[in-house]
Amino acid sequence: GAALLAVGMLGVAAVGGAVADLTGLPLLSLALALLAFGYAVLSPSITAALSRHAAPDAQGLVLGLSQGLQALARVLGPLLYGAIFDTNAYLPYLVAAAVAA
């Protein structure tokens, strides 16, 4: 899951410039499909791993914290990556791929 997510992010960064004239649209579509599939596989796996490794009486707390941190990341991520995007349009995807790998 994480590997597909990272490959998808790298693909978006690599193809990004070619989308302006539509020559890179098929490759961008493939990169986004890999990214989406990687996230779809990774997200439930993280939840399952947290559930299995948490003590039975702490599962609600652990899963609640996980969901809260994911929500916080969805708020802070665009702010952080937006600032990085202003520096270089490809850099957010490269940083996200490095974090995912």
Separation CA 62–CA 50 (nearest Å): 7
- pLDDT at site 20: 57
> Which residues, including other chains, have CB under 8 Å from residue 28's CB and lie 6 or more apart?
11, 12, 15, 16, 18, 19
Quote the pLDDT of residue 65: 94
- Whether the model clears a pTM of 0.85, i.e. scores above it, the answer is no
pLDDT in tens, the chain (101 residues): 667 777 777 777 777 655 556 666 777 788 888 888 888 888 888 889 999 999 999 999 999 999 999 999 999 999 998 999 899 888 888 888 888 76
Residue 78 structure tokens: 């665009």
* Cβ atoms of residues 45 and 2 within 8 Å: no
